[in-house]
Amino acid sequence: MEKVKLAIIYYSSTGTNYQLAQWAKEGAEEAGAEVKLLKVPELAPDEAIDSNPAWRAHVDATKDVPEVKLDDLEWADSLIFSTPTRFGNMPAQMKQFLDTTGGLWANGKLVNKVVSAMSSASNAHGGQEATILSLYTTMFHWGAIIAAPGYSDPVIFSSGGNPYGASVTVDQDGNMKEDVQGAVKHQAKRTVDIAQKIK
């Protein structure tokens, strides 16, 4: 059977969502998918990035990660998005990219893509669920099929219990407070499994 093609699309300022995306890639590859790991373009000005040493370090460390193109969405059977929370919503960098998908949407190129999402925030009630749901709102308009993890595996409970998608709390030093690696890998495998069924 032909491999599922999965694009993992992330935005990360200091590295948390990049790490989530890497774990998702590992899980998806274990499930037999062909995976592209892609970042959305950084829109923040250098003075904002330079004001946070961790942000600057992450931008420099990931300069060779390819930026997502609309062709990648068309190529993929399935998509996983990972993005931090900004005021209970996705950051402008992710929204800007999603706002460029109108041509694909208008031509039905995003219908039946299998989609899942992950997020992070600096406190437990900082908007992770709202951020994931805001991403899914766009996907509903696409006609995509949402592959939320629900409570499909015990690892969901041990990692914080978010049925919409893996999410993690990050302290001021950039440390993840919950162990979500297993939940992320499960979510990626579930996404690939559903995409394989549809493909």
pLDDT in tens, 158-197: 888 899 999 999 988 888 998 999 999 999 999 999 999 9
Report the pLDDT value the prediction gives residue 125, as an integer from 0 to 100: 85
> Is a pLDDT exceeding 80 seen at residue 14?
yes
Q: Which residue has the higher pLDDT, 1 or 49?
A: 49
Which burial class, exposed, middle or buried, applies to 72 when counting CB atoms under 10 A from its CB (0-12, 13-18, 19+)? middle
Instruction: Please tell me what DSSP assigns to residue 187.
Output: H
Domain ranges (residues) in the chain: 5-198
Asked whether residue 20 carries a pLDDT value surpassing 80, the answer given is yes
Q: Which token pair is 28?
A: 């998806």
Q: Which of 154, 144, 96, 155 has its CA nearest to residue 117?
A: 144
Both structure tokens of 91: 């950051």
* Contacts for 152 with CB less than 8 Å, ≥ 6 apart: 186, 190
- Partners of 67 in the β-ladder: 39
* pTM attached to this predicted model: 0.96
Domain 5-198 sits in CATH at 3.40.50.360
Please return the burial class of 164, using the count of CB atoms within 10 Å of its CB with bins 0-12, 13-18 and 19+: buried
Q: Which helix (H) or strand (E) holds 126?
A: none
Distances (CA, A) of 114 to 38, 76, 127: 17, 9, 23
